[in-house]
Each structure stands twice: as structure tokens, then as C-alpha cells.
Homo-oligomer: A and B are copies of this chain.
Amino acid sequence: MNRQALIQLIVRKRSFLCIGLDSDLAKIPSHLLTEEDPVFTFNRAIIDATHDLAIAYKPNFAFYESRGTAGWQSLTRTINYIRDTYPGQLFTIADAKRGDIGNTSGQYACTVFDPRSSGLEFDAVTVAPYMGEDSVKPFLAYSGKWVILLALTSNKGAEDFQFFGPRDHPLFKEVLTKSTTWGDTGNMMYVIGATQAKMLGEVRNLVPDHFLLVPGVGAQGGSLAAVAENGLNQDCGLIVNSSRDILFASSGTDFAMKARAAATILQAEMEQILIKSPATGRAFH
């Protein structure tokens, strides 16, 4: 999906909500455990209940890999279901945080972008920057696909290395500035944790036009209003993720309905933000 199509999704749905499909088998409603593929059944119900409120879904690979081949089957079914049922209506993010030497990153790119190879086809993949340019470039070789590079993450450990270096130009800023030359605003985004909302203004100074994927709203403590205030640009430029607050809004048979209710609250808040923001107001009035 190219940038223009992504922006059109945001405008049409009046939302920049991504739902993180961190579908932990131990946390999904117990009545689903008798299904042949409980995680896929759960995901399908969540997607059907929220597809008009969200612009994107983001399965975190850890929750699938941890169940081995069975987990990969759930992941494959989920991503194929989205593409077959809602074609062109949803942006899909492989939250895999991959990165290796060049030829090996090429194999990871096959995994997430080439369905003839892996059975999977996402629109975007999260990539870790530590190994540098040749670990990122192979993902950028796919037309219409995106790299979402980790810059400033939402966890406590972000402080350990992401702020290393000169006070006014720590590592995460070096990652932002150096990597902008590897791709462009049509094939690269950055992960900026919502818990880092106070840093979003500084991030925007370095990458004013890129989309930012913002996890950490809700369960991890980030505020949507603060993120929007510091992060919106004229194209919205934000994809804000919520996982647990939506997925596990109820552990009963009403889980999908409760997920929709939770997503509706976020979408409504996002719509108000888009209408009221000086950055985006013109497009959304």
C-alpha cells in the first residue's frame, strides 16, 4: 500500500488506529480453546468487529512463534483473512523487529513481503536498527512496502542505549537522521513510543513528514492527546497502536463486542483530534 492510499484510509475512516494482534493463547477467551485454531478464530472475530474503526492491524510475531508451526499457521490464516476479506481497506504491519546482515535480512524480507516464499504478505515490517544500513536496505527493495524502523521505544529499557551519546544528539536521533537517506517518506516510518510523547516534538523536527508508528497508548501508559499534540502533521502522520485494551476488553463470549466498544472510544477520540488539530483540520472538516 502506498502513502496516498494509506492517507485515504485515514481520511475515510477518520481514524489512525492500529490494533495490535498480540493474541496470547493464554489470554484469549477460554470458550475459544475448543476451536481448531483458537487464535485465528479470535483474530477473525476481532477484525470483523473493528475493521471499519481501525486502519491497520499489527500482529506481533512473538505471540505466534512461541507456538511454533501452529502459531505460524494462525498468523498466516490471519493475514490472508485480512487481505481476502478487506482488500485495500487495511494496512498490515509485521511487528517482527528483525534485522541481520544484508543477505540474511533479504530472507527476512521474503518472509514478510513475498507470499510465494512464506505464504505471508504484509504492507510493512518493524526493523531493529543496530546492525545499520545493509540490515535495513533489503526490506526497502520491495515496491509498495514499508520499513518501520525502531527509533524510540515505549519500554523502560529504551533509556539504556537509545539516549546514549551527546545530550543534544543521542542515538535515537542519529538513527533518525542517518536512516532518512536510506529510503523516503513513501517507504519508511519510525517507531516512537507513546510513553515518549515529550520527545515527539524533537522527533518531528528531524522527520517532519514521515509517518510514525506509536505503540504504548493505554496499557503501557501513553496518552493519545499528548501524542497527537506533538506528533500530527498535515497528512496525520501517525499510526497509533492499541493492543491489550482492545483485544482483552472482555474474556467472555462478548469479547468481540467489547473490543468494538473499546475501539470505538479510541476512533471517536481520534476523529475529534483530526478535526480540531491545526495540522489536519482542513482535511477533516
Contact = CB atoms under 8 A, between A and B. Distances in A.
Chain copies in the assembled complex: 2
27 contacts: A22-B104, A60-B107, A62-B98, A62-B100, A63-B107, A65-B111, A66-B110, A66-B111, A66-B114, A69-B76, A71-B118, A72-B72, A97-B98, A101-B153, A101-B155, A128-B130, A128-B131, A129-B130, A130-B162, A131-B157, A132-B158, A132-B160, A133-B156, A135-B155, A160-B178, A165-B165, A171-B171
A118 B68 contact: yes
A129 B97 CA distance: 12
A99 to B, nearest CB: 6
A164 B174 contact: yes
A208 B161 CA distance: 22
B111 A69 contact: no
A162 B133 CA distance: 12
A120 interface: yes
Contact of A69 (B73, B100, B134, B135): B73
Interface of A: 22, 24, 60, 62-63, 65-69, 71-73, 76, 97-102, 104-105, 107-108, 110-111, 114, 117-120, 128-136, 150, 153-162, 164-166, 171, 174-175, 178, 220
B66 A132 contact: no
Contacts of A60: 100, 104, 107
Contact of A118 (B24, B65, B99, B131): B65
A181 to B, nearest CB: 11
Given A68-B118, A97-B99, A131-B157, 20 more contacts: A62-B107, A66-B108, A66-B111, A66-B118, A68-B117, A68-B119, A69-B76, A99-B128, A101-B154, A102-B156, A128-B130, A129-B160, A130-B130, A131-B153, A131-B158, A132-B155, A134-B155, A134-B157, A164-B164, A164-B174
